[in-house]
């Protein structure tokens, strides 16, 4: 069989450190892999004049899967754009999947296992913004389409069906955002009729933010729009160990980009304090996507055993460096 071709996007800050950890662990698995490295982020902008070169998009399209670290996005640079949002839109990676699952570590609450399915290409991140009245009035347009809602809601119901879940929370704010959330909600009610075995539960986004803290065990799946999903998933990952352990997948038609939820953590860069777990769990998701379920389970068990043994980085109360924790996971493989 031909080797899997994996595109690596290390990016900025701790991105290269955590991607290197993933490569080290992947190379310890019984898989035939070929790596192709491409540029993204602020460093790429300084070297090449763009944070997202066309050659990077091409590399993602041509490989079997992509592993992405993180980028630094300076907020005040005129004309600069976030290459992450841009990449998701250009490659139409419409589904952002963020599993929230208890881990065997004191920083994680027990009994939690749900998936956040976040729309990844439109909503408040549609990129349509302008200033009016001499800069005294700022406007961002929130775009919700029937097509965009249909495909993300279908994805949510399909994944719930595949994993035998009984309920799916559709999270919106249709009582106030009557048009945009109204359309999303309407499409949800329509799609739900095709999945009679799954109970659709509607929840307003502010209630959901509260319920995630109060009683997170009630959730099996959440499907929601872009900004709501962004915020709720960062909140939810704090239930199970924080940003250092939160993984995600960006899925389009025939394209998968896997990444930690965290950013480039500039203050940690070069210190050896970055927790590699988020990227290693993103690697597990990538292996599942490639159909390598045995390797995926094997890696997940090694990560969980490592966490349970207390061989962890400072964010989880340990004193291991990124590479020491990576080696510990490797030994457990
Ligand atoms: P961040 O996720 O980089 O850091 C937030 C906090 O979590 C910091 O205290 C950091 O030290 C900690 N943290 C993050 N990852 C960690 C890890 N692996 N191990 C241990 N601790 C970790 O978010 P922040 O500080 O808001 O943003 C920093 C930069 O990252 C900004 O330029 C932002 O635009 C960018 N960013 C990029 C993302 C991406 O590439 N997908 C996502 C979020 C932010
Ligand atoms: Mg975020």
pLDDT in tens, the chain (333 residues): 789 999 999 999 999 999 999 999 999 999 999 999 999 999 999 999 999 999 999 999 999 999 999 999 998 888 888 899 999 999 999 999 999 999 999 999 999 999 999 999 999 998 899 999 999 999 999 999 999 999 999 999 999 999 999 999 999 999 999 999 999 999 999 999 999 999 999 999 999 999 999 999 999 999 999 999 999 999 999 999 999 999 999 999 999 999 999 999 999 999 999 999 999 999 999 999 999 999 999 999 999 999 999 999 999 999 999 999 999 999 999
Which of 233, 242, 264 should be mutated for ligand 1, with most atoms under 8 A from CB?
264
Sheet holding 33-37, edge to edge: 33-37, 4-11, 65-70, 256-260, 247-251, 95-101, 113-119, 221-224, 167-172, 199-204
Whose alpha carbon is nearest atom 10 of ligand 1? 265
Task: Report pLDDT for 115.
Answer: 98
| Ligand index nearest the alpha carbon of residue 70 | 1
Q: What is the 216 CA–ligand 2 centroid distance (Å)?
A: 19
**Best mutation site among 45, 227, 243, 272 for ligand 1, i.e. most ligand atoms within 8 A of its Cβ?**
243
What is the model's pLDDT at position 79?
A: 82
CATH 3.40.718.10 fits 113-238, yes or no: yes
Do the beta carbons of residue 177 and residue 141 sit within 8 Å? Answer: no
Mutate which of 263, 313, 318 for ligand 1 pocket (most atoms within 8 A of beta carbon) = 263
Ligand 1 centroid distance, CA of 72 (Å): 8
Report the run of H or E that residue 300 belongs to, with start and end.
helix 293-308
Q: Which of 184, 162, 182 is nearest to 97 (CA)?
A: 162
Given the CA of residue 278, which atom of ligand 1 is nearest to it? Answer: 18
What is the whole-number distance in angstroms between the Cα of residue 126 and the centre of ligand 1?
22
CB contact at 8 A, 36 and 59: yes
| Dist. CA 107 → ligand 1 center (Å) | 19
Q: Which ligand is nearest to the CA of 231?
A: 2
d(CA 141, CA 123) in angstroms, rounded, equals 8
Minimum-distance ligand 1 atom for the alpha carbon of 275: 19
Let me know: does 249 contact 258? Beta carbons within 8 Å.
yes
Instruction: Please name the residue that has the structure tokens 């909503």.
Output: 123
How many angstroms separate the CA atoms of 315 and 247, rounded? 16
Pinpoint the residues of the chain covered by CATH 3.40.718.10: 1-93+248-333, 113-238
Residues 207 and 218: beta-carbon distance below 8 Å: no
Residue 85 exposed, middle or buried by CB count within 10 Å (0-12, 13-18, 19+): middle
In short, whether 84's Cβ falls inside 6 Å of ligand 1 is yes
- Per the CB < 8 A criterion, the answer to whether 21 and 326 are in contact is yes
Q: Cα of 31 to ligand 1 centre, how many Å? A: 31
Nearest CA to ligand 1 atom 26: 263
User: Of all atoms in ligand 1, which is nearest to the CA of residue 82?
Assistant: 34
Cα 285 to Cα 280: distance, rounded to the nearest angstrom = 9
Ligand 1, atom 36: closest residue by C-alpha: 263
Would you name the residues annotated as active-site residues? 125, 173, 206, 230, 234
Q: What is the pTM of this model?
A: 0.95
Write down the residue that tokens 């999303």 correspond to. 184
Q: Which CATH superfamily is domain 1-93+248-333 in?
A: Isopropylmalate Dehydrogenase (3.40.718.10)
- Ligand 1 atom index nearest CA of 74: 32
Token pair of 193 as six digits:
């009729």
pLDDT at residue 204, as a whole number? 98
d(CA 246, CA 236): 9
- Exposed e or buried b per residue across 135-172, where buried means at least 16 C-beta atoms within 10 angstroms of its C-beta: eeeeeeebbbbeebbebbbbbbbebbeeeebeebbbbb
**Residue bearing the CA closest to ligand 1, atom 15:** 262
């Amino acid at each position: 069989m031909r080797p899997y071709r994996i595109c690596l996007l290390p990016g900025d800050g701790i991105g290269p450190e955590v991607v290197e950890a993933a490569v080290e662990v992947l190379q310890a698995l019984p898989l035939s892999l070929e790596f192709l490295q491409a540029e993204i982020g602020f460093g790429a902008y300084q070297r090449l004049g763009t944070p997202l070169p066309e050659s990077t998009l091409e590399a993602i399209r041509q490989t079997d899967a992509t592993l992405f670290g993180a980028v630094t996005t300076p907020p005040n640079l005129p004309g600069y754009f976030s290459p992450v949002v841009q990449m998701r839109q250009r490659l139409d990676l419409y589904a952002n999947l963020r599993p929230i699952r208890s881990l065997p570590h004191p920083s994680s609450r027990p009994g939690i296992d749900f998936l956040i399915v976040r729309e990844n290409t439109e909503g408040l991140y549609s990129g349509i913004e302008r200033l009016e009245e001499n800069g005294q009035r700022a406007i961002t347009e929130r775009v919700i389409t029937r097509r965009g809602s249909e495909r993300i809601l279908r994805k949510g119901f399909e994944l719930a069906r595949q994993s035998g879940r009984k309920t799916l929370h559709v999270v919106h704010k249709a009582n106030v955002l009557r048009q945009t959330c109204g359309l999303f909600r309407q499409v949800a009610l329509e799609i739900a009729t095709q999945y009679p075995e799954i109970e659709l539960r509607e929840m307003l986004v502010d209630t959901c933010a509260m319920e995630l803290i109060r009683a997170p065990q009630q959730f099996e799946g959440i499907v929601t729009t872009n900004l709501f999903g962004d915020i709720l998933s960062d909140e939810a990952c704090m239930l199970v160990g924080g940003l250092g352990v939160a993984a995600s997948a960006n899925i389009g038609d025939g394209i998968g980009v896997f990444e930690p939820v965290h950013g480039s953590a500039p203050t940690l860069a070069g210190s050896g304090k970055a927790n590699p777990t988020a990227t290693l769990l993103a690697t597990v998701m990538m292996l599942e996507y490639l159909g390598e379920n045995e390797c995926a389970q094997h890696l997940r068990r090694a990560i969980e055993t490592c966490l349970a043994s207390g061989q962890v980085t400072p964010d989880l109360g340990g004193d291991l460096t990124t590479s020491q924790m990576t080696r510990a996971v490797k030994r457990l493989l």
